[in-house]
Amino acid sequence: MPEPLASPRPLLVTGATGRVGRLVVDELLAAGAPVRALTRRPEAANLPSCVEVATGDLTVPQTLDTALTGVRAVFLVWTAPAAAAPAVIERMAARTGRVVLLSSPHRTPHPFFQQPNRLADLHAHIEKLVADSGARSTIIRPGMFASNTGMWWSAMIKDGDVVRWPYANAETAPIDERDIAAVAARSLLDDVHVGGDYVLTGPERLTRADQVRIIAETLGRQIEFEELSPDDFRRHTAGVWPPAAVEMLLAAWGASIGQPALVTSKVSDILDTPARTFKQWAADHTAAFTRPHG
Ligand SMILES: NC(=O)c1ccc[n+]([C@@H]2O[C@H](COP(=O)([O-])OP(=O)(O)OC[C@H]3O[C@@H](n4cnc5c(N)ncnc54)[C@H](OP(=O)(O)O)[C@@H]3O)[C@@H](O)[C@H]2O)c1
């Protein structure tokens, strides 16, 4: 049952300055819920003024004690090394007993999700700690974020008309982070989602080339996709991206060639509204691909 929104107990959002957490904060505020946001750097957090900002570091468990006091549930984004996770999750379970965890679809038997991946190992480890802690949990497993395209291609599209990238025909079903956040907020607010384990994707299968075409159409520009070989991509990212991350992505993309991307209906099942399309995401994020005066 949803706890009455007038309840004074806040929801603690970790990763609140990140891509998903910031949107979870917005969703909770829109639902009228009190929000406490965790950050290591409150002076740089730039969160709405009605949010209670708490300072804490996931790698130093005792710094979380104040943030965890009196909270009703925690949205947990674990981007830190694993070492402190047992002590942190034990504290969360003891103080709130309710955790909504952002993870990934590493259990899904699709080649894209079954390549060697250090992050998948970390997610599996955190999930086990949450399960063993006895906390009432919900696991949210989004596939590729739509906003990854901004991180990957923003500079190339701002500065030119060609996206140089490997595996033009590798498919994903990119998910709009607003949908991830909406599912997370719904899970935090309504105990009907206790025990839920949700693989979330966008509504449509799109190749890399399709995604570039959609961004180009949205911007009203011609943008070419020039396919790089995996070795060209390694050279292209050398000194900029960690080699382990490059190999992880190349393995996942390579394995997905010729495989239809996984598409689930979980977002629309849970929210009762269709998942946002990549076209919608691109239309709402043109600034990511446009020079301020360009
Ligand atoms: N990108 C994808 O396609 C994808 C797909 C599925 C799952 N995921 C998962 O999504 C998660 C990342 O989410 P995101 O993109 O929203 O995060 P993000 O934008 O990378 O932001 C990271 C957040 O973590 C906080 N943080 C980092 N280290 C911390 C620490 N030691 N103590 C406290 N807070 C810390 C940061 O807060 P401060 O700096 O303010 O302290 C920041 O709010 C990862 O687990 C990733 O594996 C990503």
pLDDT tens, 89-114? Answer: 999 999 999 999 999 999 999 999 99
The predicted pLDDT at position 198 comes to 98
Distance of CA 157 to the CA centre of its chain: 23
The predicted pLDDT at position 8 comes to 79
Quote the ligand 1 centre to 77 CA distance (angstroms). 6
- Pocket test of ligand 1: the residue of 38, 79, 148 to mutate, having most ligand atoms within 8 Å of its CB, is 79
Tokens of 33: 């819920």
Position in ligand 1 atom list of the atom nearest CA 78: 45
Of 19, 37, 197, 18, the residue nearest 104 (C-alpha):
197
Radius of gyration, alpha carbons of the chain = 20
Q: Which residues pair with 164 in a beta bridge?
A: 226
Quote the ligand 1 centre to 223 CA distance (angstroms). 30
Which residue minimizes the CA distance to atom 47 of ligand 1?
A: 119
Tokens of 144: 């590729």
Of 225, 99, 102, 112, the residue nearest 161 (C-alpha):
225
Quote the ligand 1 centre to 102 CA distance (angstroms). 9
Position in ligand 1 atom list of the atom nearest CA 44: 40
Question: Which stretches of the chain score pLDDT less than 50?
Answer: none
The predicted pLDDT at position 291 comes to 87
Ligand 1 pocket by C-beta < 6 Å: which residues? 14-21, 38-41, 45, 57-59, 77-80, 102, 104, 119, 142, 144-145, 148
SS (H, E, C) 46-86: CCCCCCEEEECCCCCHHHHHHHHCCCCEEEEECCCCHHHHH
The predicted pLDDT at position 3 comes to 61
The predicted pLDDT at position 293 comes to 72
Residue 106 CB-density burial (10 A; 0-12 exposed, 13-18 middle, 19+ buried): middle
Quote the ligand 1 centre to 10 CA distance (angstroms). 21
Task: Assess contact for 152 and 192: CB atoms under 8 A.
Answer: no
Residue 47 CB-density burial (10 A; 0-12 exposed, 13-18 middle, 19+ buried): buried
State the pTM of this model.
0.97
Of 111, 37, 125, the residue nearest 81 (C-alpha):
125
Quote the ligand 1 centre to 193 CA distance (angstroms). 23
